[in-house]
Amino acid sequence: MTPSPGFSAQTLSVLAALCDQPSQWQHGYALAKQTGLKSGTLYPILIRLADRGLVEACWEDEPQPGRPRRHLYRLTAAGLASATGALASAARPKATKAARTRAVRGAVARAVP
């Protein structure tokens, strides 16, 4: 799957959090703490990613005593490829801009003795 150019900054932050440990299942609250997103923002993103087959979700096998079972999330193979591509392309323009700024500054420095 090709990286989608339609990822918002919040979606990218969720993808980045899931990419940190792609093989590990993660909880919603842990993701919220990692990304700084509220539940009202985080869950619609997870729902959309799951709908697109980029994230898989399952229920905890062995819940802690006295606690309900928790929902767990991790990237699918397609999700990992998509997230890697999207995060790389999100970082690329910054690198290009920085390189351009360095080049312009270098040119100015050469022109101004």
Partner 1 sequence: MNRLNRVAVAVARALAWLLPAGRRDWVAAVWAESQEVPPGLARLAWRAGGAWVLAREALMPRRLGRGAVFAAAAGAAAWAAWPQPTVGHAAVSQFHVIATVLLLAGLPLLARRFFGPATPSRAGRFLRVFSCAAILALMPAFAIVEAFAELTPKQPAYQRIACPFQGCGAVPGNSTGGPPWAGEIPLILMTIAYLGVILFLTSQRSQVTRGTLAIGAGTGLLFSVVMYAVAPLGLTNDATDPWLPGSKADPLVALAWILLFGGPAAAAALAARRGRAPGGAALPRNVRMGQGIAAGVLANGTAALFVSALGTGTTALMLRSAWLLRWLNHGQHLTAIAAYRYENNAGGGAAAYLFMLIWFPVIGLFMSALGAACTPLGRPAPRELTPVPATPGNQ
Give contact residues for partner 1 (rule: CB under 8 A).
27-29, 32, 38-41, 43-44, 46-47, 57, 59, 67-71, 102, 104-106, 108-110, 112
Q: In the β-sheet with 26-27, what is the strand arrangement from edge to edge?
A: 26-27, 71-75, 55-59
3-state secondary structure of 56: strand
Min CB(66)–partner 1 separation in Å: 9
Residue closer to partner 1, measured from CB, 27 or 84: 27
How many Cβ atoms sit within 10 Å of the Cβ of residue 13? 20
Min CB(84)–partner 1 separation in Å: 26
Task: State how far the Cα of 106 lies from the Cα of 97, in Å rounded to an integer.
Answer: 14
Min CB(94)–partner 1 separation in Å: 13
